[in-house]
Chains A and B, each alone.
Chain A
Amino acid sequence: MTATPEYVLAGVRHEYRSGSAALAGIDLTIESGEHVVIAGANGSGKSTLLKMLDGLVFPSAGTITAFGRTLTEDALEEPAFRREFRSRVGFVFQDADVQLFCNTAFDELAFGPLQLGLAEQAVRERIASVAEQLRITPILDRAPYTLSGGEKKRVAIASVLTMQPHVLLLDEPTNALDPRSQVWLLDVLSEWKQAGNTVVIATHDLSIAAESADRMIVLSEEHGVCADGTPGDVLSQRDLLLSVNLIHEHAHRHGGAAHEHPHGHGELHTHA
């Protein structure tokens, strides 16, 4: 009845090369199909945590288990496990430029499946269907650095989707996206929810948590977990959010009246 949880983190700590802490004692379990938002101010460690979920960074203490197997550098050197893990977990980086390193957008979409060892025909089929899904078929022959910000993001996401991952990790996905693209992204996220994918998003944009997540985890500036619950619950804890620097007190004017209240940017709110 209880399926193996997707991820189990126990006592995970991580230090930077200089010795300062990036993550301090994280205990966490993520089940398959959950939509989790990891929120925190810049410097709280959420990007590091996300990279750890993708086996790009390993704990200095504690263990992280993925699909029942402990994630270590050695484990990922095994070709069979590496292929399985990489095809199951997709990472969308904050900066699309970093993620687009191939000659053309077509090559980007082909890179993942080719690394997994798929045959040419299968690769071309996957590319065609993902390109159509994300509406980037006309720009497949272009070099990524000639594309606009929104186009790059679509190509970046497409390049991950051709691997048909079950788990999707997104690092600050709405950064540098114009409003229309942000709405488009939220649509994509809800599609994935319908399809049963596990999605983990690291962000300081609280509106994503409100709109699409089942669960919200907050990292404090001391790099530990200080809240873990439904978005409704967590977002109502104003004092907590203030203390971790996710929202701030701000005085402003609406029309003729001045008032102050705590809020985070990215939240739309109206006043009577």
Chain B
Amino acid sequence: MHIPDGYLGPQTYAVLDVAMIPIWAVAASRVKKTLKAKQVPLMALGAAFSFVIMMFNVPVIGGSTGHAVGATLIAIILGPWAACISVSIALVIQALLFGDGGITAIGANVFNMAFVMPFVGYYLFRLIAGDSPTTRRTIVASGIAAYVSIVAGSIFAGVEFGLQPLLAHTAAGRPLYAPYPLSVAVPTMAVEHLLFFGWVEALATVGIVSALVKQDSEMLAMRPAAKPLRWLWAAFGILVLLTPIGVLAPGTAWGEWGAAELGARLGFVPAGLGDLGSAWTAAVPGYAPAFIKSPTLGYLFAAVLGSALVIGVSWAVAKLLARGENSRPPKDARPPTSPTTPS
């Protein structure tokens, strides 16, 4: 996912370069508060580890291999802010010394891989793993979190690419930087990661977490004491309440036209679209349930229903995992291991 120079125009790369400065500042102060004087060696080792992880070839299937980023793994071990700094340093060194990733694009790459990935991965991990998870739950949670986090990062990268033709083009409309429109960039990046790189990331993370749990489970308890996630639910609730803003936007989202609207725009309806368009009748068409007349309330209803479904499914998955563990005999206390420091 390392974006080279030349794909992002100055409007994009400058914004992301500048945006990282406050993010790094906050990360630095958080890390200083939790790790204190030990931050220098820990961040250096975290960064070195992140760099090395990105060099490993992870076998996927047959003879194919891929590279993992490892941002979620590091976030699980050190916490998201420390992971942000570690992965950022690794990416900067890769860009400067190895030409892996552009120099002007450093801000974008760091944003996607050292900010979006660790934070999405960390909070998803905590949501699925719960408060004191068993081994199996930890491992499964880490895999899912890693998968989703890299897909999320790739979508951001796709958006960054896809915006270029809109932001910078010649009078004739030719794009000056990355030439792929959003409709191509975002799905391509997403599918690439959904089908392949997401699995590399998940398999690598699951493998490492399993081995860590077997070798030394104390490593996974290293992150700063997790605060309760109530604020996350509060933020989520606020977002749900804000969904009716969609009422203000006229027209339909780009690319989401139905057959009738497409017909009006193009003058004809592609044959396949006409047939398939009527194959599925949504339960709540147009986010407006039939029995609610006000569009605002309709949006709210759809938002609540949709969120409830997504959360419900995640919660059910988590509960199934937990129940699977409860039916097994409890794990014995770990036998004393050999001393970690030789004398």
Verify whether A and B have any Cβ pair under 8 Å: yes
Which A residues are closer than 8 A to B by beta carbons?
Answer: 16-20, 22, 40, 42-49, 101, 202
B342 touches A47 (CB 8 A): yes
B343 touches A46 (CB 8 A): yes
Smallest CB separation, A218 vs chain B (Å)? 13
Bound form: Cα–Cα A211–B195 in Å = 67
Smallest CB separation, A158 vs chain B (Å)? 21
Interface segment among B113-121, B240-248, B332-340: the answer is B332-340
B342 touches A18 (CB 8 A): no
Interface size class of B (residues with CB under 8 A): 10 to 19
7 closest A-B pairs by CB: A47-B343, A16-B339, A45-B343, A18-B336, A18-B337, A48-B343, A46-B343
Task: Identify 8 residue pairs between A and B in the complex whose beta-carbon atoms are under 8 Å apart, listed by A's number.
Answer: A17-B340, A18-B337, A20-B339, A42-B342, A44-B343, A45-B343, A47-B342, A47-B343
Interface: B256 (CB within 8 A) = no
Q: Which residue of A lies closest to B335 (CB)?
A: A18
Chain B CB count within 10 A is highest, among A17, A46, A202, for A17
Consensus secondary structure, chain B interface: loop
Smallest CB separation, A114 vs chain B (Å)? 15
Do A47 and B341 contact each other (CB < 8 Å), given the known contacts A17-B218, A101-B41? yes
Do A22 and B342 contact each other (CB < 8 Å), given the known contacts A17-B218, A101-B41? no
B336 touches A20 (CB 8 A): yes
Bound form: Cα–Cα A43–B343 in Å = 5
Q: Which residue of A lies closest to B44 (CB)?
A: A101
Chain A CB count within 10 A is highest, among B41, B339, B341, B343, for B343
Q: Identify B341's interface contact among A40, A44, A48, CB under 8 A.
A: A48
Q: Which residue of A lies closest to B40 (CB)?
A: A101
Q: Which residues of chain B are within 8 angstroms of A101 by Cβ–Cβ distance?
A: 41
Q: Which residues of chain A are within 8 angstroms of B338 by Cβ–Cβ distance?
A: 20
Which B residues are closer than 8 A to A by beta carbons?
Answer: 41, 218, 336-343
Bound form: Cα–Cα A48–B341 in Å = 8
A18 touches B343 (CB 8 A): no
A16 touches B342 (CB 8 A): no
Q: Which residues of chain A are within 8 angstroms of B339 by Cβ–Cβ distance?
A: 16, 18, 20, 22, 43
Smallest CB separation, B217 vs chain A (Å)? 12
Q: Which residues of chain B are within 8 angstroms of A45 by Cβ–Cβ distance?
A: 343
Bound form: Cα–Cα A46–B342 in Å = 9
Smallest CB separation, A183 vs chain B (Å)? 26
A16 touches B41 (CB 8 A): no
Q: Identify B342's interface contact among A19, A43, A49, CB under 8 A.
A: A43
Q: Which residues of chain A are within 8 angstroms of B340 by Cβ–Cβ distance?
A: 16-18
Q: How many A-B residue pairs have CB under 8 A?
A: 33
Bound form: Cα–Cα A22–B336 in Å = 13
Q: Which residue of A lies closest to B342 (CB)?
A: A42
Smallest CB separation, B341 vs chain A (Å)? 7
Smallest CB separation, B220 vs chain A (Å)? 14
Q: Identify B343's interface contact among A17, A19, A22, CB under 8 A.
A: A22
B336 touches A40 (CB 8 A): no
Smallest CB separation, A61 vs chain B (Å)? 17
Q: Which residues of chain B are within 8 angstroms of A19 by Cβ–Cβ distance?
A: 336
Q: Which residue of A lies closest to B343 (CB)?
A: A47
12 additional A-B pairs beyond A18-B337, A19-B336, A43-B343, beta carbons within 8 Å, are A16-B341, A17-B218, A18-B339, A20-B336, A40-B343, A43-B342, A45-B343, A46-B343, A47-B341, A47-B342, A48-B341, A49-B343
Q: Which residues of chain A are within 8 angstroms of B41 by Cβ–Cβ distance?
A: 101
Bound form: Cα–Cα A19–B340 in Å = 11
Bound form: Cα–Cα A102–B343 in Å = 26
Q: Which residue of A lies closest to B340 (CB)?
A: A16
Q: Which residues of chain A are within 8 angstroms of B337 by Cβ–Cβ distance?
A: 18
Bound form: Cα–Cα A17–B339 in Å = 8
Q: Which residues of chain B are within 8 angstroms of A40 by Cβ–Cβ distance?
A: 343
Smallest CB separation, A5 vs chain B (Å)? 24
Smallest CB separation, A112 vs chain B (Å)? 16
Chain A CB count within 10 A is highest, among B41, B218, B336, B339, for B339
Bound form: Cα–Cα A124–B139 in Å = 53
Q: Which residues of chain A are within 8 angstroms of B342 by Cβ–Cβ distance?
A: 42-43, 47
Bound form: Cα–Cα A102–B336 in Å = 36
Chain B CB count within 10 A is highest, among A17, A18, A48, for A18
Q: Which residues of chain B are within 8 angstroms of A46 by Cβ–Cβ distance?
A: 343
Smallest CB separation, B159 vs chain A (Å)? 39
Q: Which residues of chain B are within 8 angstroms of A49 by Cβ–Cβ distance?
A: 343
Bound form: Cα–Cα A231–B336 in Å = 36
Smallest CB separation, B45 vs chain A (Å)? 11
A42 touches B343 (CB 8 A): yes
Smallest CB separation, A149 vs chain B (Å)? 20
Bound form: Cα–Cα A44–B339 in Å = 11
Bound form: Cα–Cα A49–B342 in Å = 12
Bound form: Cα–Cα A43–B340 in Å = 10
Smallest CB separation, B277 vs chain A (Å)? 63
Q: Which residue of B lies closest to A223 (CB)?
A: B343
Q: Which residue of A lies closest to B218 (CB)?
A: A17
Q: Which residue of A lies closest to B41 (CB)?
A: A101
Bound form: Cα–Cα A48–B338 in Å = 15
Q: Which residues of chain B are within 8 angstroms of A43 by Cβ–Cβ distance?
A: 339, 342-343
Q: Which residues of chain B are within 8 angstroms of A17 by Cβ–Cβ distance?
A: 218, 340
Smallest CB separation, B44 vs chain A (Å)? 8
Smallest CB separation, A118 vs chain B (Å)? 20
Bound form: Cα–Cα A144–B179 in Å = 46
